[in-house]
Amino acid sequence: MVLTAAPVDSLVARARAAFAGFRGVDQERADEAVTALAWALYRRRNAEELARMAVAGTGLGNVADKIAKNRRKTFGTLRDLLRVRSAGVVEELPQLGIVKYAKPVGVVAAVTPSTNPAATPVNKAMMALKGRNAIIIAPSPAGHATTARAVELMRENLHKTGAPADLVQVLPAPVTREATGALMAACDLAVVTGSQNNVRNAYRSGRPAIGVGAGNVTVMVDDSADLADAAEKIARSKTFDNATSCSSENALVILEAVYEKTVDALRAAGGYLADAAEKKSIGDALWRDGKLNRELIARDADVFARKAGLPPPARGARFFMVEESGVGAGFPFSDEKLSLVLTLYRAADFDRALTLTGAILRHKGRGHSCGIHTRNMDNARRLAEEMDVVRVLVNQSHAFGNGGGFDSGLNFTLSMGCGTWGGNSISENLNYRHFLNITHLATQIPEDKPDEEELFGKFWRKFGAG
């Protein structure tokens, strides 16, 4: 059965009815609903059930890490949301005579990916209800069963609080491009995490839309880095949930002075360095007709090694490394891999490392993220100044810091805005503010009108007033 406009219209009508009864609740009631959604996934038995369903349904990632992700992301997001106001007066600026009032955006259409079919829907639903909105989720077809179960659990918890269950709904299967498009066109805001095709379709929907950019995280290791610490953090991040995260490291740019020692540290952390023949074998298996092979992406390391034809010693590795020198369409290892493959580049010096990092990101991942392992903050500052990315992480595991961490100031999210560099309307992590309208009450203040000399004087003295 193909979902037509009529069922979409019915879902939206139910969402609008639920929204009408929720849009005026106070902060306490809104936060109660948000906490109910969080408990639906954070509760261990639910996190475990949904993790098993996700891996069984999509074949992506692993159960243990999905459990950890379901609980960690939900806990961190709830921490962030319970610390802020989203109802009534949210900011006062007496010196400007401005008082800001938060208002909901309405009914949100949320498109979610197969890589996180439980965590992402719950994350977006929490943010939407923080703003006193309703949300309808369009999951990936592969993740539909998991997402539908997550929505069922969220609705059960909302009912316990007395909030309308129809504040959270899901498109029924089969989810089609047409149904998702109809949903985005019928709602007040579309928020899309997933393929760039879905992001572009959201921007074409005729409704306000927020999308995310493609990831291809590139991390530098300079000659001042703590190599053992860097290697363990990289390995932990690269292997988490079998590299399903868009924030997983895809390439390392390593200064020549510490290249061999860094490779040794990565080996000690569980990495396997492929030789030239093994690299070709990995490439032939990982890409089919120019596209990533779904039989290899986000698979366990032993499965990957076997399917890629790697020798027995590789089958006990945590992840796999290949050496590369080129960047671009003719060098697929410079692209995002969504697998336990890490590309290594040598750089003669820091300037060359910057050039290489920029080239990789321009090829794929511009706007998303990069990072550096260093004890020299001048190098970190140069990286931030020169790279067209939203996030630059210093001495961190990307998969655990990029989308928010308990030792990172970035807010918890599963949707990474990449700015205009990545074709997005936001250049920050998706957060509750993106689900709010703001009314500005402006009252009169003492006149703030400088004279001409204050504004034009420096220009006149340098260039003349003629």
Looking at residue 196, its pLDDT comes to: 84
Looking at residue 466, its pLDDT comes to: 83
Where is 144: in which H helix or E strand?
Answer: helix 144-161
HSE toward the beta carbon, residue 171, CA cutoff 13 A: 33
Single out the residue of 327, 408, 340, 336 nearest to residue 368, CA to CA: 336
DSSP class per residue in 282-336:
HHHHHEETTEE-TTTTT--HHHHHHHTT--GGGGG-SEEEEE----BTTBGGGS-
Looking at residue 6, its pLDDT comes to: 66
Cβ-Cβ contacts under 8 Å for 165 (sequence gap 6 or more): 18, 155, 156, 158, 159
Identify the sign of the CA torsion 141, 145, 151, 154. negative
Looking at residue 63, its pLDDT comes to: 98
Catalytic residue flag (residue 246): yes
C-alpha distances (whole Å) from 173 to each of 119, 177, 375 are 19, 12, 51
Looking at residue 222, its pLDDT comes to: 98
Single out the residue of 246, 286, 299, 255 nearest to residue 430, CA to CA: 246
* Residue ranges of domains in the chain, CATH in brackets: 5-212+430-441 (3.40.605.10), 218-405 (3.40.309.10)
Integer Cα distance of 89 and 70 in angstroms: 32
Amino acid at 26: D
Instruction: Spell out the per-residue pLDDT of the chain, length 466, in tens.
Output: 334 456 899 999 999 999 999 999 999 999 999 999 999 999 999 999 999 999 999 999 999 999 999 999 999 999 999 999 999 999 999 999 999 999 999 999 999 999 999 999 999 999 999 999 999 999 999 999 999 999 999 999 999 999 999 999 999 999 999 999 999 999 999 999 988 888 888 888 899 999 998 999 999 999 999 999 999 999 999 999 999 999 999 999 999 999 999 999 999 999 999 999 999 999 999 999 999 999 999 999 999 999 999 999 999 999 999 999 999 999 999 999 999 999 999 999 999 999 999 999 999 999 999 999 999 999 999 999 999 999 999 999 999 999 999 999 999 999 999 999 999 999 999 999 999 999 999 999 999 999 999 999 999 999 999 8
Single out the residue of 28, 97, 65 nearest to residue 441, CA to CA: 97
One of 187, 246, 370, 418 is an active-site residue; which one?
246
Residue 253 and residue 357 in contact, taking contact as beta carbons nearer than 8 Å: yes
For residue 7, cis peptide bond before it (omega within 30 degrees of 0): no
**Per-residue three-class SS string for 181-229:** HHHHHHCCEEEECCCHHHHHHHHCCCCCEECCCCCCCEEEECCCCCHHH
Looking at residue 194, its pLDDT comes to: 82
